[in-house]
Amino acid sequence: MTRHRLGATLALTLLAAGCATDAPEEAAAAVATGLENGSFTATLNGHEIHYEVHGSGPVLMTLPNSWGLTHQGLRALYEPLEEHLTMVYFDPRGMGEPGPVVEESDMSLGAVRDDLDALRRHLGLDRVNAIGWSNGATNLIFLASERPEILESAIFLHGVSRATAADFAGFAEEYPEWAAASA
């Protein structure tokens, strides 16, 4: 499937989900967000966080991976959506343009969720549509279970439905080389 078709499919899915809302005023408010396109830095949770806004239409916040992928990689994947949506990207702590990791927990899934929530509040958004790919999708599952009140909708791409200690142990047993390389 081409990037354009993938983008159009995701945009239509999100827009259809937005049409099913019980509050048409909220959908109209999401379209008229007033978010300015550009590249920005904000101090959130005591860390300098780089974020970018591109496109127009309802807001879709990206939940990045907690390691190995900056906003630029996600933007390369999601850029066709910018024709229909206002995309909000941000770099996880220690990746891309924000400051360095201060402590190991800065690289955690929880730190990424905390930063998405802080960015959401910084942008003045009550509830958001969010999208996560791979590790970001798995983290979005955690966010949806912990903070459902901040999500209007969630799109999960290529994530896993669970990630318990037993799952990781089974992976390490079955794929010891990969587990050692990613440790």
How do the domains of the chain map onto residue ranges?
Answer: 3-22+37-182
For the domain spanning 3-22+37-182, the CATH number is 3.40.50.1820
- Report the pLDDT value the prediction gives residue 104, as an integer from 0 to 100: 73
- Report the pLDDT value the prediction gives residue 25, as an integer from 0 to 100: 41
Q: How far is CA 34 from the centre of its chain?
A: 20
- Report the pLDDT value the prediction gives residue 68, as an integer from 0 to 100: 67
CA distances from 78 to 7, 18, 127, 173, 177 (A): 7, 19, 21, 34, 31
- Report the pLDDT value the prediction gives residue 107, as an integer from 0 to 100: 73
Q: Which residue stretches of the chain have pLDDT < 70?
A: 1-33, 68, 96-99, 161-163, 182-183
- Report the pLDDT value the prediction gives residue 153, as an integer from 0 to 100: 96
- Report the pLDDT value the prediction gives residue 3, as an integer from 0 to 100: 52
Per the CB < 8 A criterion, the answer to whether 62 and 128 are in contact is no
- Report the pLDDT value the prediction gives residue 161, as an integer from 0 to 100: 65
**CB count in 10 Å sphere of residue 61:** 26
